[in-house]
Amino acid sequence: MNSGQSSGSMATAEALELITDIETPLDSGGWPDQEVLANIKQTLRRLRSAPGPPALISEKIVAIEIWTEILFSTRRFERYGGADRVRLSILHECHALRQIVSTGLPPDNSD
């Protein structure tokens, strides 16, 4: 049952907890916060060994990292409809990552 999954993966529960750790500080976005950004990036690095297909995990981690950099920028988020819209994009990617970790399958509405 290890087809396409990382060897030495972390436990599913730990991965799901880390995803929640990413979602929690998002309300503070909409202005630069290097500390929050660094913490989220560190959490994303840890999630690279989350259970599930490595390519799907990596795709979602990259998307979350890009959106998070935009959210915690000075004004880049304005180009994407504002901080709330960027925050929703991050939450959407976190939801998809949560589903991949839980089921090993991409969400039905993935791109």
Sign of the dihedral defined by the CA atoms of residues 82, 88, 92, 97, in that order: positive
Between these two residues, 82 and 106, which has the higher pLDDT value? Answer: 82
**C-alpha–C-alpha distance, residues 52 and 67, integer Å:** 22
**What is the rounded distance in angstroms from the CA atom of residue 47 to the CA atom of residue 61?**
8
Residue 28 has a pLDDT of 85
How much is the pLDDT for 29?
Answer: 87
In this prediction, residue 3 carries a pLDDT of 39
State pLDDT tens for residues 52-77: 999 999 999 999 999 999 999 999 99
- pLDDT at residue 7 is higher than 80: no
- Residue 96 burial (CB < 10 Å; 0-12/13-18/19+)? buried
Mean pLDDT of 94-111: 86
